[in-house]
Amino acid sequence: MLASAASSKNLCNDDEHPIEEIIRLPTAKCRSCTAATRMNWSTTAPSSGSTSSIALSRRTGPHSKGGIHQRRNHHEKSFTMAGTNTGTSAAHKWLHAVGGNADTVWDSFVQNFHSDATWTLIGETPVSKTHRGLDAIRDNFLTVCWTGDGRGNGSVQGLDQDHGVKITIHEVLEAGPDRVVAICESNGMGNNGVPYTNSYCWVISISDGKISAVHEYCDTALIEKAMFDKRVVPAEEVK
């Protein structure tokens, strides 16, 4: 399904490495990165007893690292990364943290991304753009997903921080010396009660041993509904 979708359009927006080229390359599945965990990148203090593990709040304290307050993860997995391409090891290390050890999620961003790395989300949502640099990825992308776009007017936005988001990584494909493709899904809940069960393709680019770019492809209509309290209605119903 991914390959057929890519064959009609260069989704990667990269003439040198279009997705159709990536998918057709000899690939090696990295089963060691396949896992699931609960994560919570929020802007408020974490509640007690939650299995979510990290909150991006400007706090300091006994469990803070660099001003990022962290929750303890009550369910950790151990992994190996046998057979991974050494050139793409940063991507595997990051996916290892996203999928299996959420207590170190943001630390893994800092360790495995270039400071000027970009994260591009497709579509026209409030967070659909190219976010440049780790600060922008954290403050203008991840945090906004948890808090909403601030428009008010009675809307109930953001993701439920107590519920957290469970990220399941189904498949990781080596796509040459500087590309990794990850197929994954999320399980969360909007504060408005809309389930956030999205499917993703992350195309991860590596340069000089670290992640330089992530292109994210997913159901952006669901982002609008669960995170930003919007509805898709037939045109004839719009007055």
**Tens-digit pLDDT profile for residues 113-125:** 999 999 999 999 9
Residue 23 has pLDDT above 50, yes or no: no
What are the backbone dihedrals phi and psi of residue 7, each rounded to the nearest 5 degrees, phi first?
Answer: -65, -20
Q: What is the rounded distance in angstroms from the CA atom of residue 171 to the CA atom of residue 183? A: 5
Q: What is the rounded distance in angstroms from the CA atom of residue 159 to the CA atom of residue 164? A: 8
Residue 9 DSSP symbol: S
Question: What tens digit of pLDDT does each residue of 149-206 get?
Answer: 998 888 999 999 899 888 999 999 999 899 999 999 999 999 999 999 999 999 999 9
Q: What is the rounded distance in angstroms from the CA atom of residue 202 to the CA atom of residue 120? A: 10
| Selected residue with higher pLDDT from 105 and 22 | 105
Three-state DSSP at 21 gives helix
Total-model pTM:
0.70
Residues 6+ apart with CB under 8 A from 184: 99, 167, 168, 169, 170, 199, 200, 202
Sequence spans of domains, the chain: 21-230
CATH code for the domain defined by 21-230: 3.10.450.50
How many other C-beta atoms can be found within 10 angstroms of the C-beta atom of residue 79? 20
Closest residue by Cα to residue 227 from 196, 199, 187, 184: 196
